[in-house]
A and B are shown apart, each in its own frame.
Chain A
Amino acid sequence: MSKIMVVDDAQFMRVRLTKLLTGHGYDVSEAENGEQAVKTYRAARPDAVLMDITMPEKDGLEALAEIRSFDPGARVIMLTALGQESMVIQAIKSGAKDYVVKPFDPDRVMIALQKVLG
């Protein structure tokens, strides 16, 4: 069973994504900001990450860069309300494997995950 880490400052979004992912048989861990995401990633070593961008403590782009500095193979998919081209380019340059804009289509998220998990 693949392990997925969900990172979002909104409890509601974590609950919703966890419900979706566990329903598809994934094992889910959660983090509520970028700082916690880095710590949880080190401890849980998830197979893939769904990462929000706008978060307190440390944002999703900073967390992405930090995670990839110690695990260059990290599979991180950004899942955010910010869809500006500049933001997408910055995320992909920083090593994000995919970029999903909220409101998200559950099928789109599942396909993105299956793709990065190979």
Chain B
Amino acid sequence: MNVQFLNPFVEAAFMVLESEAGVSAKRGQLALRRSAATADDITVLISMVGQVNGVALYGLSEDTGIALVSRILDQPFDEFDALAQSGIGELGNVITGQAGNRLAEAGFEAKISPPTMVLGKGTLISTLDFERLQIPLETELGTIQIHLALREA
């Protein structure tokens, strides 16, 4: 895992959270993992294929997900329904897209997949042979864990 891939994601997440939800984020302790990721209530998976290959995962609690979509759409959500799921998937898509734009500027062009969502805590998500960088982003609405298992092609 190339550490230079990390900052584009952190910068993108900061920018997107601020712009979409008016939330500022603080980065927590970075960790390099070889074991499978343990899913939070909500995990968004987005693949990248190109000069960078692998997957970006975004993990968050249901409360954080509901709080975020309520802010973004400016209407209250009582449950993490289909519309809320779509909103969090889109948030992951926009963060990954913005990170992809930054990576492209650094010479790594990649396409991104539409988001997939794992619902339910505790599932193990293995990135197989890809090492995974994990960095928590702390916000007033809760923590968002970014996991990156990316490789230079």
Contacts and interface: CB of A to CB of B under 8 A. Distances in A.
B73 A81 contact: no
B104 interface: yes
B20 interface: yes
Q: Which of A55, A56, A84, A86 has the most CB of B within 10 A?
A: A84
Contacts, number: 69
Given A56-B114, A103-B16, A12 B83 contact: yes
> Does more than half of chain A's interface fall in helix, strand or loop, or is it mixed?
loop
Contacts of B16: 103
B104 A86 contact: yes
Interface residues of A, number: 22
B97 A82 contact: yes
A85 B19 CA distance: 22
A13 interface: yes
Given A10-B90, A103-B19, A103-B20, A82 B73 contact: no
Interface string B89-127: 110011011101100100001011110000000000000
Interface of B: 15-16, 19-20, 69, 72-73, 82-84, 86-87, 89-90, 93-94, 96-98, 100-101, 104, 109, 111-114
